Amino acid sequence: MPLLKSSYRSPLGLSHGHLQTILPAILRRVPPVTSRRERIETPDGDFLDLDWTTGTGSRVAVLSHGLEGKSQDAYIQGMARALSRRGWEIVAWNCRGCSGEMNRQLRFYHSGSSDDLRIVVQHVLAQERFREVALIGFSLGGNMTLKFLGEEGAAIDPRIVGGVTFSVPCDLAASSRRLESTENRIYMRRFLKSLRRKVLKKAERFPGAMNLSGLKEIRTFKQFDDQFTAPLHGFTSAEDYWARAGSQSFLPSIRVRALLVNAQDDPFLAGGCFPVAEAGASPHLHLEMPSGGGHVGFWSFGQEYWSETRAAEFLGG
């Protein structure tokens, strides 16, 4: 599809990508919309926690959070509120180890964990009352969503009517390198602090299963992914993980309407995270690149953010 002209304009005084990224994350509060938790078992003996709205409708949206996020984050609950007002039921799922309880297996989750998203989608589809299923993902969850849609290709269940993603690091290598820059040090420190805690908790449960040497000295995703993400999840190196888990190579195989919104001032994104050629060659992928918005930002005054209105609009209200 040709590139879409975006209607989003940053509010006066919030035109900087870092402000758009940080302020919504620390200031926005959304009362929980998903109130019913369900735990489902995975084939490998682990579990996934899903948070549902209560409803009886025939349309459901599956929401996937970002790195070290969770289903109760404001951007997830904001989207849940906006769509539930329009008649959608919501299921916001938590990646392994992100629901408040450490998962059982040695593996965690990663940007390419579309196998877990597939488990969630299959569980939703098994509830036959749903005639329309939409997938919505943010950042890491957006990468997972696009990868899943590409993997399914023409064989995708016809009840899956579309996908909407925001702030997606389609090119994981370029995004990882971008986050190593001095200006992004604040984000890298935050992510690695959280990831280190999880590694240590996992090490208590699985003594000797991981190499913990130099854990405190890790300063980049490459170092972390080489030492933990890759060996724990079947990759040979960080580069192998980035190449195989990034959604960029799966975009041409998508066969349902999919929207990718990546702001040009997103401090996390670079290179192939703006897949202009892939979108131009695809009748299914719609690419929107507003000049502002930051990373999972798109600040708007009022209860509903622009990203939430845009997702509902793309999915047909």
- Residue 277 lies in domain: 17-174+247-314
In a domain, 263, yes or no: yes
How do residues 176-219 score in pLDDT, each as one tens digit? 999 999 999 999 999 999 999 999 999 999 999 999 999 999 99
Q: Out of 84, 114, 139, 307, which one is annotated catalytic?
A: 139
Give the confidence band of 47 by pLDDT, cuts at 50, 70, 90: very high
Q: pLDDT at position 107, please? A: 96
Cβ atoms of 112 and 147 within 8 Å: the answer is yes
Q: What is the mean pLDDT of residues 71-99?
A: 97
In a domain, 160, yes or no: yes
- Taking phi first (over 0 means left), then psi (-120 to 50 degrees means alpha), and beta for anything else, what does residue 214 get? left
Q: pLDDT at position 165, please? A: 98
State the Rg of the chain over Cα.
18
In a domain, 163, yes or no: yes
Q: Out of 71, 286, 295, 307, which one is annotated catalytic?
A: 295
Q: Which ranges of the chain does DSSP label H, i.e. alpha helix?
A: 17-27, 74-84, 114-125, 140-152, 172-179, 185-205, 221-224, 230-232, 238-245, 276-281, 306-314
CA 161 to chain centre: 18
Annotated catalytic, 10? no
Q: pLDDT at position 117, please? A: 98
In a domain, 9, yes or no: no
Give the confidence band of 156 by pLDDT, cuts at 50, 70, 90: very high
Give the confidence band of 3 by pLDDT, cuts at 50, 70, 90: confident
As given in the structure block, the two tokens for residue 299 are: 């600040």
85 to 82, 88, 89, 309, 317: CA distances (angstroms): 5, 7, 9, 11, 10
Cβ atoms of 163 and 150 within 8 Å: the answer is no
Q: pLDDT at position 26, please? A: 95
Number of domains in the chain: 1
Q: pTM score > 0.85 for this model? A: yes
Q: pLDDT at position 317, please? A: 66
Q: Out of 49, 225, 226, 266, which one is annotated catalytic?
A: 266
User: Reduced to 3 states, what is the DSSP secondary structure of residue 5?
Assistant: coil
Q: What is the mean pLDDT of residues 124-134?
A: 95
Residue 95: CATH number of its domain: 3.40.50.1820
Higher pLDDT pick, 56 / 46: 46
Annotated catalytic, 44? no
Annotated catalytic, 249? no
In a domain, 229, yes or no: no
In a domain, 85, yes or no: yes
CA distance 261 to 134: 16
In a domain, 221, yes or no: no
H or E stretch covering 133: strand 132-138
In a domain, 209, yes or no: no
